[in-house]
Each structure stands twice: as C-alpha cells, then as structure tokens.
Amino acid sequence: MIETAVLAAFLAFCRIGACFMFLPGLGSARVPPQIRLFVAVAASLALLMHLWEVIAPHVTRQPGPLLLLVGSELLIGSLIGLVARYYVLSLQFIGSAIAMMIGFGMAGGGPAIEEQEPQPAIAVLISFSALMLLFVLNFHHAIIGALVGSYRLAPVNALFDPQSALVDLTDTLSEAFMVMIRLGSPFVAYGILVNLAIGFINKLTPQIPIYFISLPFVIAGGLLLLYIAIGTFLSLFADGFFPVTVGR
C-alpha cells in the first residue's frame, strides 16, 4: 500500500510538476528552480487525494511499464504548460514589435521577464503588466483545473499522443499570434504612417537629418498611443488567454 501511494504521488508529480516548470510566471527564469520544485511538490500532494481513483489503479511496479507511464506523464504535463507559455511568449514578441514601431527598439532594455535575453523596456513593461494581470485573474487556478480535467481527457493508461499534442501546439501558436497581431495593429499602423511621412519629408529636404529630428516626436506619439490603448490592450489579452489555452 505504501509503495502504491508513493508511486501514485510520483506519477501525479510528473504531470503536475512538468506543467509547473513551463507555466508563465512560475516557470520564469527569475524564479529559482528550488521554488518551482517546492510549489510543484505541494500542488501534487494537494491534488493527489482528488486524483487517487484515476491514478492508483494504473500504478505498476514493473520497471518497463512504469518508465513508460513516467515519460508519458512528463510529456502531457509539459504540453499543458507549454500551451500557456506560448501565449505569453507571443505577447513578448508583439511587445518587442511595439517597441520598435514607436522608436524604442534601439533603446537599451533589461532582461525579459520569462527569459534571460535582453528586451526593450516597453516590451518588459507590457509583459510584466500582462503577467501580473493573469495572476490577479487567478489563471493558475484555471491551469490547476485543466490539469485535473486532463486526467479525464488523457488518462494515465492512454499514454501520450504526439500527433494530438502537435496539433494543439500548432493551433495555440496560430491563435495566439492572431490575437497579438490584432492587439498590436494600432501600433503597426502608427509605425507605417509615421515612417511614411518622415520618408516623404526627408525626400523634400534631403539636406536636413529628418530622422534624428523626428525621433523624439515619434517616441512621444507612440507613448501617447500606448497610454490611451494599454487598458484595452491588457483587457483583450486577458480575455483571449482562457479560450486560447485552457479552453482548448
């Protein structure tokens, strides 16, 4: 009985822990691995009592089938975490594009919230605000609910389906980037119109360095547009998170 309980807890930790390692925020490079590990262990033990009936019957002591179950659970948990992480990574992409469109692309920034690579300050601000909004809206509760529901859709004995996982990841990327393109479309239009106008002016007065003169005005206009649109931007981002990720 003790061995069954330990193996069941380990199988639960494989799926839940793998998901938590890739989750936005908890899976960030800013969070120490020890914290992520302890949170994953705590969540696994807390959910084990609710998942006992769907995990314990499939526990086996044979090394071969047990390793197969462990690998399958790790891949399923990673898939759930990656679906949520791809949505936030697409926001980082459009944040960097917005920074470039409003003239902040060349400005020195700091490390990204989720990764170690440097990112423009505007993109970091947008990513951090969106991530904080997700935590305020308890997206981690929805992820935990999705993990519990995943045992109904993908039981332990069903094993990992690579084709279905690839379809889910592809659809998530497609829908997430469509959402982000719609959110960033005002800034894309602003960048195109401003650069087009500056190009015409530069043709009329080629002896004047129009680009360097106009850059402060381009940044000021972009910041004003960001100030006006940031509330709606974050609201639409949060509205699209659940249908694109856990609603799948």
Domain boundaries of the chain, sorted by first residue? 2-244
The residues near 193 (Cβ < 8 Å, ≥ 6 apart) are none
Whole-angstrom Cα distance, residue 49 to residue 100? 50
Q: Are 62 and 26 in contact (CB under 8 A)?
A: no
Cα four-point dihedral sign 193, 226, 26, 76: negative
pLDDT digits (tens, 9 = 90+) for 60-70: 788 888 888 88
195-204: average pLDDT: 82
> pLDDT at residue 182 above 80?
yes
Question: Which pLDDT band holds residue 248 (cuts at 50, 70, 90)?
Answer: low
pLDDT digits (tens, 9 = 90+) for 94-148: 988 898 888 876 655 666 677 777 788 888 888 888 988 888 888 888 888 888 8
Q: Give residue 247's pLDDT.
A: 64
The whole-chain average pLDDT of the chain stands at 85
154-160: average pLDDT: 84
Q: Give residue 110's pLDDT.
A: 66
pTM of the predicted protein model: 0.83
Question: Which pLDDT band holds residue 227 (cuts at 50, 70, 90)?
Answer: very high
